[in-house]
Chain A
Amino acid sequence: MGPLEAGLLLFGVFGVLVLIRIPVSVALGLASVPIFLIHDRLSITLLFTEMFRAYNSFLLLAVPFFLLAANLMNAAGITDRMIRLCRALVGWMPGGLGHVNVSVSMLFAGISGSSTADAAGIGSLMIPAMEKEGYDTPVSVAITACSSVMGVIIPPSVLMIVWGGVMSVSIGGLFLAGVIPGILIGGSMMVAVYIYALKRGYPRYPFPTVREVVASFLSSFFALMTPVLIVGGIVGGYFTPTEASVIAVLYSMILGLFVYRNLGFKKLPGVFYESARFAAIALFAVGTASAFSFLLAFFQVPKALVSMFADLSMGSVQTALVVAGCFLVIGMFIDAIPAIIILGTVLWPVAETAGMHPIHFAIIGIVSLAFGLVTPPYGLCLLISCSIGKIRVIDALRDTTIILFPMLIVLLGIVLLPELVLWLPRLLMPHFN
């Protein structure tokens, strides 16, 4: 079996299984079964060996903990405090609550590593509030869904942890590299909100008093320290990403239980259960996707791609555009984590040959996959936001597309200007090159 036949068989079976509504994580495992059975040098136990190898990772342990930290922050009412701060800071602009929604997502992204926790936590507070002030529901839903994607771009980020683990890239470097793209994306969305507000006459809040700004800042001060603690701790080499995730959990528990006292001990088991369950569902795919990508590598599909691209003789910019395109397309159909494992490992040899920096490659991949969180048919953040706003996905599509457009320009900027991504890690990490 050559690379082409193997690739076609794997993706073909996978496609059919997904079409008949087999869960993506299961479909990835099942698609690899025929080859494991047919090939005389492979055996079915390899599927499980690959799964075990993928799960048996101290690094991935950070994923459930960062989810847990985010859910604890939501349960402890820390999100409300950050909304109050953002209201004081940006609520006076036209379309005040829309800007609050975007900026609170940016702050929340600095604490949580996951976009879904962002969409669920912020959406349940902001969508009803925006509706009450006369914002159209599809617009509120679209702003919530689109801004939640910053959760995986602004550090900490679950996707960056998976990326760093699978591709052996510095996680501290990835975290720092995500800061500027994240802020640019937030800014681009605020421009979109501003234009909406002018066209549809959305309300604004009166200019805040200095007192309110100071009070709201103090009220959320401890929560705002979280990103400093986590990112600073990892980049400074004080602890590993997994340890940082546990510190984030302990810190948010202390804030919720003893400082802000909005989180009772009774609420804890529920929050733990939901976080563990969601993490398990997302991570199950890591194992099956690893088996899938093991087979792709076994039949030398990445190598075949490299020689194919070599024939096209593209420069690094064209290659970067192709990379972004591939991640955008696959992100529409499958979850970001398996997409990283399958496409990241396949495309990296191509990107490396074209002279791309591993962190530039990673951020292009992660930002492109972030779009997938809000594009159907598989856009988890859009689904969550729509279910909070009680509208159909199709009704939110138009506004989502409009808000995504400036974000697409930011992605293009990242592709063309690697410095946007690499500047901050180079500045703050002495050994970064």
Chain B
Amino acid sequence: MGGGVRRLLNCYYSLLQILLTAMLGLLLVPVTLQIVARYSNVIPRYIWTEEIARFAFVWIIMIGSIIAIRDKSHFIVDVLPEFGRTGRKVLGAITLVTMFLAGAIFTYGGWKFAVFGSIQHSELAGLPMLAIYIAWPVLGVSWLIFTTEQIYDFIRDTGEVAHGTP
């Protein structure tokens, strides 16, 4: 993988990190508004705050999961004994291929899911539901991209495969 591609991937990863940080910060706002509105008359009691908060939350989970695919911090269970070098290689290859397959399923199924939702609008704020459902194909595609990067590194023998503790 050339330096250019790697740089592009790093940029995407940083963008996701910034988005994730900002979204959790922004998420404080609607919930705080909700409490303030209930106990004072300063601002009206919006009902869309709750829905916006929920949708932002869905995105936080999805973006965080993409990030965890790249930095391999999804939790795994280590029950198999330690293998020799060949055993580790074989197991690593199986893990990566399966993860790639999972990414493909998320892309394909997620796309169908998003298309199915593209005619719906949300109940309270009237947002197009596509804005949320699209998170699944985005997750799938990002997953494929980062797993491809890991497969590349694996073939070049530079990366660790296993996910672990964050």
Which residues on A are within 8 Å of B, measured CB to CB? 17-26, 29-30, 33, 44-45, 47-49, 51-52, 55-58, 60-61, 64-65, 68, 239, 242-243, 246-247, 249-250, 269, 272-273, 275-281, 283-284, 287, 333-335, 377-378, 380, 383-384, 387
Contact = CB atoms under 8 A, between A and B. Distances in A.
Contacts of A26: 74, 99, 102
Most interface-central of B53, B79, B80 (chain A CB within 10 A)? B79
Contact of B102 (A29, A45, A380): A29
A52 B58 contact: yes
A333 B77 contact: yes
A276 B75 contact: no
A80 B95 CA distance: 42
Which secondary structure characterizes the binding site on chain B?
Answer: helix
Contacts of A23: 74-76, 163
A345 B46 CA distance: 34
Contact of A25 (B27, B74, B91): B74
B58 A58 contact: no
A61 B34 CA distance: 14
Interface in B92-122: 94-95, 98-99, 101-102, 105, 108-110, 112-113, 116
B91 A20 contact: yes
Chief secondary structure at chain A's binding surface: helix
B27 A21 contact: no
Interface in B25-48: 25, 27-28, 31-32, 34-35
Given A22-B99, A242-B31, A377-B79, A60 B57 contact: yes
Contacts of B75: 23-25, 281, 335, 378, 380
Contact of A18 (B63, B67, B77, B108): B77
Contacts of B23: 276
A48 B110 CA distance: 7
A276 B105 contact: no
List of 8 A-B pairs having minimum Cβ-Cβ separation, nearest first: A280-B64, A23-B74, A48-B113, A276-B24, A44-B109, A273-B21, A284-B65, A246-B31
Contacts of A272: 21, 24-25
A383 B101 CA distance: 29
A176 to B, nearest CB: 22
B35 A276 contact: no
Contacts of A281: 64-65, 68, 73-75, 166
